[in-house]
Amino acid sequence: MNLLHRRYCRSDAWRRAVHRGMMPWVLRDVDLGANVLEIGPGPGVTTDWLRERVPELTCVEIDRDLASFLERRLDGVNVTVVAGDATQMSFPDASFDSAVAFTMLHHVPSQELQNRLLAEARRVLKPGGLFLGSDSTSSFRFRLFHLFDTCLPVEPDLFAPRLESAGFGEIEIEKRPEYNTFKFRARKR
C-alpha cells in the first residue's frame, strides 16, 4: 500500500467508519462461532472490533511488518497473528468456524490468486462454516487512492460464480453503490 493508504487505514476516521458502519452492516445477524480466521487484517482496525466479539481469533497477514506490529500490539489478548500468505495457509483442513476478509481482496494481485485465497478459505473452514466480508468497488476516487498500490478490484456481479467454483453455497452478495462497496456471505458446502 502507498503511504497515503497506510496512513488512512490507521486513522481515527477509518476506525469510526469501520466500527460504526462496515462491521455492523457486514456481520448483522451472523454467529461467527468460537474460532474465527481473519484474512488480511492490515493494521488491525477490523481485528479490534472482532476480538471483542469472539472467543478466539486468528489473523493471517502477508505483510511481515504489519503482522509483527499487530502481534506486538495484541500480545496477551485472544488473538493469534500469523505472518503468511492466505493463498497457501499452513492451517489444517476444517480448522475454523468462520473466516472473514474485510476490504483486502482488491490487494491480491491477480484473479487467479484471489481465487486461490477463496479456495483456501473454504479448505480451512469446518463443514457448514461461513466465509464473509466486504470490499470496495472501483471508482475514480478509489483508483486515485490506490495509486502505486497493488489493486485489482473484485466485480461484485461476477463474484458469486467465483465463490461457487471455490466450493461455497448459500451465497449472498449485497451492494452499496452509494459507498462503492459490497458485502458477501457464503457457506462451505
For residue range 59-98, list pLDDT tens digits in order: 999 999 999 999 999 999 999 999 999 999 999 999 999 9
The model's confidence at residue 4, banded by pLDDT at 50, 70 and 90, is low
Share of residues in the chain with pLDDT > 90 (%)? 81
Q: Is the pTM of this model over 0.75?
A: yes
Kindly report which listed range (91-95, 118-122, 152-156) carries the lowest average pLDDT score: 152-156
The predicted pLDDT at position 1 comes to 65
Full DSSP string of the chain: --HHHHHHHTSHHHHHIIIIIIHHHHHTT----SEEEEE--TTSHHHHHHHTT-SEEEEEES-HHHHHHHHHHTTTSSEEEEES-TTS--SPTT-EEEEEEES-GGGSSSHHHHHHHHHHHHHHEEEEEEEEEEEE---HHHHHHTTTS------HHHHHHHHHHTTEEEEEEEEEGGGTEEEEEEEE-
The predicted pLDDT at position 5 comes to 65
Q: CB burial class (10 A; 0-12, 13-18, 19+) of residue 121?
A: buried
* Short-list 121, 112, 111, CA closest to 152: 111
Kindly report which listed range (84-88, 130-134, 151-155, 159-163) carries the lowest average pLDDT score: 151-155
Sketch out the chain's domains with CATH numbers. 3-188 (3.40.50.150)
